[in-house]
Structure 1
């Protein structure tokens, strides 16, 4: 059903309150704004689904839905939830928990990492979902029945997928592995982004030195705050390419700033603000200039060791039916090689699954061989 009235929403939430889980998804638009613009919030139980119009319903009209979502006794089930959690933050000022992400859970039971929702539904439920409305402008009203049905499909099958994944996790005794990963997702989403750290996400920031990085920090922070204030995409003010060029040239006047291609659209007051940001970066004490940490290039010998460790990870992942990327990446293996106790592979379920066997491999107490065309542990 499509819900755009407070009375309909209250009635639906009253029925959904008896469900121990809620399947959730969102539709939004972010091409023309700094923050994503919420358009629909889809809610599903085992019995029914609804697409809630969060353009028509705002503020107190959403109170029954907020109460439903923020009841900690009820599991909130989503797929690839990071962007959805951002929408909840915008709509409600917080993120409901506990959260269960079916994409993460699927990787613990043998599916590939970052498996799409459609592929997972097909694998678990045997249903092929159409992609006919994937480029819909969800801000336009009215929505036709096909659009609403497409949106509701995103929660229609989630309860069955959730039930199947939980049953498999329990069978494999891995539910305790998954839950901390879910808690980490929510904790990360709750951390407010600091404009002073925005420079770290600028493309090619690794090409800058200390003083240039100080300028980049100030210019990127100005862009972050101004884009948020005007609610426009960052690139509408300055592209990453221009931020990097300004950081390298360090223009101290408007005239020199305008020599950088891509600054012609700037208003004069914005040009003044950027020049001031450059000057702040130039006046930053040397010991307070930021650094982009570059991991030392591994030696040929350590690269070979990591290749062997990675082969072991893939062997264990195949044996345990878990996505190998979930176990570790090359950086995790390098960190384990440097200091096992402080690495991600040295704690929690990863340590239980991989820590001892990796230590045996590095100590020469274990090895790998090929038998009948397959890698096996010695």
Structure 2
């Protein structure tokens, strides 16, 4: 059903309140905006499928009552971007949720299995890909576009049933609670502009003094990109920010020495940026920021990582869990350096391999080769 007016949307919401689940997907564009532009919202209940045109309805916030209803399970596949859009458009995040991509990794599928591949594996259906890169903002939508959009939620309830049955058989359904709670944590979708400098490409080339300036410029760029609703690179690129900070620019002329900056910054903005940089350079040293330079300041842990990876790979294969889902490379680096506030040392991950990794680092277990595979032996055992 294609919904293109407020009355039809409200009628659908009323019917959906009696459903036990609500499959959700979105189609959006982001190439020319800071915020994703929602072009379609697809929903499937126990009994019907709705493709909602956000350009044609007055107020999408009427679906908030469905998102907040604890008796309705909200289904997503790789739902991070969908949830970010809902948070911005509706002003809230749904609960409870179930993400089929996350769940699939616990029964042996790859960590980032695509929706089409998962539908094929669980439902035996091959989805058409003809409208994968369509312009969802153009109207009217074609029949094939609407069918493609509907397919993104039509099969989610069946995929959910298959995954749930498999997880229950393995006693793993409860393992997902923390992952799903993290998925709908508002902090995940909120960011501090003054922390954006930490994600600058090649930002690790800057001194701490230069990073102080980068922090101010990156924060200004973030606020400006949001205000204008354009991609941040349209304001200034990461490379331009790093280069002006390398030069320790403090005047407009200094800024314009970096290629392309003159074309991106009008004089008023250039004056603002130069002023922010000049103030940053005047900060006392104890207020200069610092990046995580663990590769320089912390001990090399390559040998530990090699051994830990062998154990994780072994336990992931034994338990039919995607290796990266069990323990990411970043987590293993943290554990090797003595950190304990990491996912692999919590809950089901700790039970499968986390405790064993700590024993490995403490010298309580050893590794050997046996029958072409890795064998883990507790020290002192024959």
The TM-score by the shorter chain falls in which range?
over 0.9
**Structure 2 residue matching 1:55: 3-state secondary structure:** coil
Q: Is the contact between residue 25 and residue 41 of structure 1 (CA under 8 Å) also seen in structure 2?
A: yes
* TM-score of the aligned structures, taking structure 1 as reference length: 0.94
Aligned to 2:80: 82
Question: Is residue 85–residue 95 contact of structure 1 (8 Å, CA) maintained in 2?
Answer: yes
Distance 1:220 1:340 in 2: 29
Aligned equivalent of 1:326 = 325
- Specify the alignment match of 1:9 in structure 2: 9
Distance in 2, matches of 1:217 and 1:94, equals 30
Distance 1:374 1:358 in 2: 18
Contact kept, 8 Å, 1:340 with 1:346, in 2: the verdict is no
2:309 is the counterpart of 1:310: yes
Cα deviation for residue 188 of structure 1 reads: 5.2
Distance apart, 1:305 and its partner CA: 2.8
Partner of 2:147: 149
**Number of residue-to-residue matches in the alignment:** 375
TM-score, normalization by structure 2: 0.93
**Stretches of structure 2 lacking an aligned partner (at least 5 in a row):** 378-382
Residue 40 of structure 1 and its aligned partner are, at CA, apart by 0.7
For residues 334-358 of structure 1, what are the alpha-carbon distances to aligned partners after superposition, in whole Å with 9 as ceiling and x for unaligned? 3323336444333222221113323
Q: Report how far residue 64 of structure 1 moved.
A: 3.5
Displacement, 1:121?
Answer: 0.8
Structure 1 residue runs of 5 or longer lacking an equivalent are: none
Change in CA separation of 1:341 and 1:270 when aligned onto 2, cut-off 3 Å: closer
- 2:380 alignment counterpart: none
CA distance in 2: counterparts of 1:224 and 1:330, whole angstroms: 29
- Counterpart of 1:134? 132
Structure 1 residues 200-239: Cα deviation after superposition (integer angstroms, max 9, x where no partner): 1211111111011001011111111111111111111111
Instruction: Quote the residue 1:259 is aligned against.
Output: 257
CA distance in 1, matches of 2:205, 2:258: 18
In the TM superposition, residue 364 of structure 1 has moved relative to its aligned partner by 4.5
1:278 aligns with 2:248: no
Structure-2 change in CA distance of 1:160 and 1:307 (3 Å)? same
2:33–2:229 Cα contact (<8 Å) kept = yes
Supply the distance in 1 between the matched residues of 2:363 and 2:278 (Cα, whole angstroms).
56
Partner of 1:292: 291
Does the residue aligned with 1:367 lie in a helix, a strand or coil?
strand
Q: 2 CA distance for matches of 1:39 and 1:165?
A: 29
- Confirm or deny: 8 A CA contact 2:68 2:94 kept in the other structure: yes
Q: Deviations for 1:72-119, whole angstroms, at most 9, x for unmatched residues? A: 221111011111111101211121122211111111111111111111
Q: 1:345 corresponds to which residue?
A: 344
Q: Indicate how the Cα distance of structure 1 residues 161 and 238 shifts in structure 2: closer, same or farther if over 3 A, else same.
A: same
1-structure distance, mates of 2:189, 2:52 = 27
DSSP-derived class of the 1:229 partner = helix
Q: CA deviation at 1:294?
A: 1.1
Q: Does 1:229 align with 2:223?
A: no
Distance 1:363 1:244 in 2: 41
Q: 1:362 to 1:271 in 2, by over 3 A?
A: closer
Say whether the 8 Å CA contact 1:94–1:190 is kept in structure 2.
no
What pairs with 1:113-192 in structure 2 (closer than 5 Å)?
113-187=111-185, 190-192=188-190
Q: Given the superposition, is the C-alpha separation of residues 135 and 330 from structure 1 closer, same or farther in structure 2, using an over 3 Å criterion?
A: closer
1:166 Cα shift? 1.3
Is the contact between residue 6 and residue 58 of structure 2 (CA under 8 Å) also seen in structure 1?
no
Which of 235, 238, 241 is the equivalent residue of 2:239? 241
Cα 1:364–1:264, aligned 2, differ >3 Å: closer, same or farther? closer
Structure 2 residue matching 1:108: 3-state secondary structure? helix
**Could you tell me which residue of structure 2 aligns to residue 107 of structure 1?**
105
Please state whether the residue corresponding to 1:375 is helix, strand or coil: strand
